[in-house]
Homo-oligomer: A and B are copies of this chain.
Amino acid sequence: MRKFNEQKELDSMNGALKLRTQINNFIDKINDQGYSNVCWLGIGGTYASAMQAVIHMKEKSSIETFYENAAEYIVTGNKRITKETLVIISSVTGSTQEVVAAIKKIQEVGATVLAFLDNADSPLGEIVDHVISYPENEQLKFFMAADRLMYLKDEFPDYEKFYQEMDQHFAQDIVNVAKEADQFAKEFVEKHHNDAMHYFVGAGNQWGATYSYAMCYWEEQHWLRSKSIESAEFFHGTLEVIDRDTPVTVYVGEDTQRALSERVAKFLPQICGNYTIIDSKDYDLPGISEKYRGTVSPFVFHAINNRIDAHMEHINRHPMDIRRYYRQLSY
């Protein structure tokens, strides 16, 4: 399989799951001290992950939690962020200029900042007090922090059971999804690698990832035009520009917003002959209880999207690492 090292994938996910001890040590301490609310701050892909964390928590929690765009925070601020706030960020490079500037401003306010950094030896690593350093698996890190916060507020009573299943089965299950999806991904890319525009539709804990996949992968890394739209919003405008040949992909996950994406999936065949439905239900996740599949579905989609990326990169002969303008020009 192209660009796929099973053992490396397994180690990466299992290593991320082991961060839970570090995460819990930190979150338990913050919970003991008390906090007023939780802010997930990011920009671009990390902003999208922040959206996912907030929707993940909304499923269960009455904790005040919201996401904030780093660049917007710099200019507008957010009076809900105070010294009682827990701010959680993630960064691969540790040097994204908007996030560095936002965190400096947040430190003046006195909020507590937890940073997941792939690279701790970085500008963010230098200024943040609480760093957990480990590569990739951003969404998993965010969900583990969110889940611990909810567990400590008695909003996730079966937390231990869930993570027992995750520790035992998650990595292997997701690797199996990748292998199972590879042929689909290849055919999908053969059909769509030259689309003039591709619409991606998603909801719930997959919405942030849908936004990010369209923008941070197709636009930024494949230089392919794409638009993302929330499943519920699709019916309030975007549907009118869809016709027989318009490429539309719908992610149908298993959280509470499944019905919203199912509605799009059921509607599309009436008006469109070029749609793709990616349903996490089509993938076995042995050892993961039915009731947890909604939480796990973004990881199923992530594994499938990774396969699409691997084939897209090859078929379009477009290395995903190159950028036309980002960090190439000054602006």
Residue ranges of A at the interface with B (Cβ–Cβ < 8 Å)? 43-45, 47, 55, 58-62, 64, 66, 69-72, 75-80, 98, 196-197, 203-204, 214-216, 219-220, 223-225, 227, 229-233, 235-241, 255-260, 263, 266-267, 270-271, 323-326, 329, 331
Residues of B within 8 A of A331 (CB): 235, 263, 266-267, 270
Residues of B within 8 A of A76 (CB): 55, 58-59, 204, 255-257
Contact A69 B216 (CB under 8 A): no
If A76-B256, A227-B227, A241-B225 touch, whether A220 touches B197 (CB-CB below 8 Å) is: no
Contact B196 A216 (CB under 8 A): no
A72's contact among B223, B239, B257, by CB below 8 Å, is which? B257
Residues of B within 8 A of A61 (CB): 79
If A235-B331, A326-B239 touch, whether A64 touches B80 (CB-CB below 8 Å) is: yes
A35 to B161: give the CA distance in the assembly, Å: 38
Given contacts A72-B203, A235-B326, A239-B324, 4 further A-B pairs with CB under 8 A are A58-B78, A196-B197, A220-B240, A240-B323
**In angstroms, how far is the closest chain B Cβ from the Cβ of A18?**
30
Contact A325 B239 (CB under 8 A): yes
Closest to A46 in B: B236
Question: Top 5 closest A-B pairs, CB basis?
Answer: A44-B236, A71-B232, A215-B237, A62-B79, A267-B331
Residues of B within 8 A of A260 (CB): 71-72, 75
Contact B59 A233 (CB under 8 A): no
Residues of B within 8 A of A239 (CB): 324-326
Closest to A62 in B: B79
Closest to A323 in B: B240
Closest to A331 in B: B267
Residues of B within 8 A of A236 (CB): 43-45, 47, 215-216, 220, 326
Show 18 A/B contacts (Cβ-Cβ < 8 Å), sorted by A. Answer: A58-B76, A58-B78, A59-B76, A61-B79, A64-B80, A69-B230, A70-B232, A72-B230, A72-B232, A75-B259, A77-B256, A98-B232, A215-B236, A223-B240, A235-B326, A239-B324, A263-B331, A267-B331
